[in-house]
Structure 1
């Protein structure tokens, strides 16, 4: 497609919240040229606090904002408790809260933080304390007549989206995991090692809620001609879990096997996208992810879970049953051990391709 035409089309794309639906041909043209990650050294990164910049916050930061009344024309959607809140400088936050009934408060942070730490494109998710002015006690279920006051929500999660113009093939739908096979390095797209590493990481985290509305295709800020679009997972609230796709130690560790056939590197994976199941991973993709995960120290892995408030989540989970049959409270260290054991399934095999 001529560069001038692409530039004109992109000029019409909204820069913030609402995506542009394009023809399937144009959508696939962008997919073929897309990238999924940038080069990073995970060993140098702060996984407890995550990326820092405009719209992001260190762990536990107190964030003040004013509750925004519900807008029936632009509802936040989804099924997990959340509400809009506007900061004094005018930024509109999407706040997820109520961790006792909403595991996405933890899952969103740990999933996005791990993607970021390994160089994959991701939204920035911060676990904070929200101080909400003029706020109902439970904003998700509140009505216009609900009493208002200054209220604290902790832990709460706020999102800073990857900056750029979003492209969709249909309203609310971006790319599927099957589309990763269409990315073409000869056209400037990511290598197969990169796309296979993303597939493998999604299985590692159990990103099972993986229909097209959970991913985004974005023309990044600073790339006005969209020569290198970004494909990334935007909704990772259900990772590190299992059945029902919510974050849970019990469910994540109940599926200990990553591979259906480790000799041929066939993953044991299925999700809500019924056209994508048990993908085969190349040696290049396995080695890339193994090398990236291997650069994370045990203390960084612990920081990953602490930064997502898994110490809070552990208090709400069933007790850990040891080999002796005795139970004790679940801890972050149990999550760290499970992570390292699952990582060894990637580092300890070789793929035939």
Structure 2
């Protein structure tokens, strides 16, 4: 059975593709290999995928951009994927302030092309990356799928909310089962170089200062990559159906008469940023040089996921501890970079 994974050379895309290949799927990986961060890391992930010997031709890679509708359409025509997992997007809250055009093109135009191809080729189930960023300035923790998400504080968050709205319209109009994945600060081996754990580990090992925003007064719901992959793989073949609890007179954001679902993918065990750094220091056995800075535009002080909806739906709760997750990342980092 064919699964199209866009963003396959990315952090989550790589791990999820590996899991799907080992589960017996044929994965068509799609990625534009842009230079938002080190392309060599993306290429190294792809080489790992190509070496998985689960079955013959279990991984096919196609280089391209979601905004190229004709090329994307040709891939759907050739492989007719039963499932589509759209992880390709321009990532990063802070970068969306510097380069908003990239987010509109990839996250809005690109996603509209995905939806159109899913409509034309009768995709059985579309799963797509949303983000905890959709919750914006909401400070009512823990964050629940039923919460209002009408006040984004970054363009990145706004594009992800737009994806959820676009997906709902296609679920309603064309009966396409869609599942939105609100990821909460995913980390682990092969992670993105622009994320906190990667930045901190690299700087501490190089005896360089680390930038700590909002003077360390930050809380994050860090979610380990294996927990994310397990959650998404369980959701893959659970196609959404109409929610019998939905009421037109009292509509809830996470419910619908259409085959549409939204889930938080988080650990539900938030940790203070300073405690997070202490864990890194203890595992590295090196004290960090700390550079305290004010809050950055587009950022939020705290995140915490409520994952009851996910747990009830798939019978699984992300549960990897911070210390275990950080330790695995640091082991990978030292091996990959020969530290």
TM-score normalized with structure 2 length: 0.27
Q: Which has the larger radius of gyration?
A: 1
Higher RCO (CA < 8 A, seq sep 6+): 1
TM-score normalized with structure 1 length: 0.27
More helix by share: 2
